[in-house]
A and B are shown apart, each in its own frame.
Chain A
Amino acid sequence: MDFSKLLEGNTWGILLKGLWVTLEVAVVAIILSFLIGIVLGILRYSKIPVLSQLATLYIEIVRNIPLLVIIFFAFNTLLDKFDSLVVIVIFGMTVFTSALIAEIVRSGLNSIPIGQIEAARAQGMSYVQTLIHIILPQALKRMIPPLVGQFVTLIKDTSLAAAITLPELLHEAKLIYSNPSYVNATIPILLLVALIYFVVNYSLSLLSRQLEKRLAG
């Protein structure tokens, strides 16, 4: 085991480039997933016939399939159409994560006491007005901590895309220690990679906890 290799060559530069791809993919995917997830979550909550059932079907099927299967699915069927690994991975992660966010949205909506909805309706607000002005603003506040949690999960899960050679953090690490002169640095490199993920995700977790405390007050 050779820790000194961590300081040789361009190890840090390569890893930071990988981290950039990881964050890029995770940020785009979380934004898209949030937009789709909020629509799906509202549809499931709405009890509008057919649409509500379709949203439920989508959510239940997608979240019970492994993300890695969805990534391979997208990779094997869409690569010739998109011709970009980044797009493929963002697509796969958005399909999966939007289903999880839909559930966060639904339980956020469900946490609003029914009395508030009745009061709004009694004031003459329509269903949509009640949703936009009364339910959503309160629910969104309660959704922030689990949404940050989902973002942490996304950053971790981006490493699955190493399996289809997306040049994210873990894949770049693998490239380094695949070089015969770096093989004896495999463990140090993987430890460093784990540490990088930890620092990024733990900071986010702390931020989320702080938010939770502030919002509770």
Chain B
Amino acid sequence: MNWDFGFIQEYRTEFIDGFFLTLKVSLTALILSLIIGTIIAIFRISSNKALRAFGTSYVEFFRNTPLMVQVFFFYFGLASIGYKLTDFWIGVLGLSIYTAAFIAEIIRAGIQTVPHGQTEAARASGLSFLQTMFHVVLPQAFKLVVPPMCNQFINLVKNSSILSVIAAQDILYVGEQAISEYDPFSVELFVAALYLIITIPLSQGVNLLERRWAKQGTR
């Protein structure tokens, strides 16, 4: 094996840009999937039958189909009927729609662990459904929801590598460019290390939070 890290110098600016593209896509998708996920979660627990059915179908459909198919849909599918999104937004849309299904389930589980009596008490006190959600249920659900939410963000960062498949210049894409001239093993190690720089602190942080909150008791 011939180690050769000369590519880092040659592809320095590309790797820096790729690193920030990965971060930017992941963060944008996180915000969007939080919004979609919250809406779907509220649908899933709403008393309206149609909304509940829609929420459930959304979650079941997207949890059981590959992210790659969704990205291909926005990439090849839209192109075939004459629409063209930028690679950035294809990635963000695919990732958000997919991740929202998981986030919706996390939020729903968080909300449903708050005893029903509390909701009833809040409603009986004259709070509206939304007021009950925002002032009574959501603050309590928060602690249960944060650790799995961080895990979803880690998944988003990892899943964003799918952008390289549609030629958006993220970390993995830049690595694949460098491989044409340099030792593949060294390049792939470096690419993996760049992802670890983002994901390891996050996963260690989640572990720490979980341990601390477990000690305090959840509520």
Residues of A within 8 A of B (CB): 1, 60-61, 63-70, 72-73, 76-77, 152, 156-160, 162-163, 170, 174, 177, 183-184, 186-187, 190-191, 193-194, 197-198, 201-202, 205
Question: B8-16, B28-36, B107-115, B195-203: which one contacts chain A?
Answer: B195-203
In angstroms, how far is the closest chain B Cβ from the Cβ of A180?
A: 11
CB contact list, B187-217 vs A, under 8 A: 187-188, 191-192, 195-196, 199-200, 203
Taking CB atoms, residues of chain B closer than 8 Å to A190 are: 69, 72-73, 76-77
Q: Mark B76-101, 1 if CB is under 8 A from A, else 0.
A: 11011100000000000000000000
20 sampled A-B residue pairs with Cβ under 8 A? A61-B196, A64-B199, A66-B157, A69-B188, A73-B191, A76-B179, A76-B187, A77-B185, A77-B188, A159-B68, A163-B165, A186-B76, A187-B73, A187-B81, A190-B77, A194-B69, A194-B70, A197-B69, A198-B60, A198-B64
B69 touches A68 (CB 8 A): no
In angstroms, how far is the closest chain A Cβ from the Cβ of B213?
A: 17
A160 to B161, CA, bound (A): 10
How big is chain B's contact interface, by range?
35 or more
Asked if B41 CB lies within 8 Å of chain A CBs, one says: no
A26 to B6, CA, bound (A): 37
Partner pick for A66 among B72, B73, B159, B179, CB 8 A cutoff: B159
Taking CB atoms, residues of chain A closer than 8 Å to B117 are: none
Taking CB atoms, residues of chain A closer than 8 Å to B66 are: 156-160, 170, 197
Asked if B168 CB lies within 8 Å of chain A CBs, one says: no
Taking CB atoms, residues of chain B closer than 8 Å to A152 are: 64
Asked if B105 CB lies within 8 Å of chain A CBs, one says: no
Partner pick for B162 among A64, A68, A201, CB 8 A cutoff: A68
A66 touches B195 (CB 8 A): yes
B67 touches A156 (CB 8 A): yes
Asked if B104 CB lies within 8 Å of chain A CBs, one says: no
A184 touches B80 (CB 8 A): yes
Taking CB atoms, residues of chain A closer than 8 Å to B76 are: 174, 177, 186, 190
Asked if B47 CB lies within 8 Å of chain A CBs, one says: no
Nearest to A160 among chain B residues (CB) is B68
A53 to B50, CA, bound (A): 51
Taking CB atoms, residues of chain A closer than 8 Å to B61 are: 194, 198
Given contacts A186-B77, A186-B80, contact A72 B176 (CB under 8 A): yes
Q: Mark B142-164, 1 if CB is under 8 A from A, else 0.
A: 00000000000010011111101
Taking CB atoms, residues of chain A closer than 8 Å to B79 are: 186
Asked if B40 CB lies within 8 Å of chain A CBs, one says: no
A66 to B63, CA, bound (A): 18
Taking CB atoms, residues of chain A closer than 8 Å to B184 are: 76-77
B158 touches A66 (CB 8 A): yes
Taking CB atoms, residues of chain B closer than 8 Å to A205 are: 60, 63-64
Asked if B125 CB lies within 8 Å of chain A CBs, one says: no
Partner pick for A197 among B64, B164, B195, B199, CB 8 A cutoff: B64
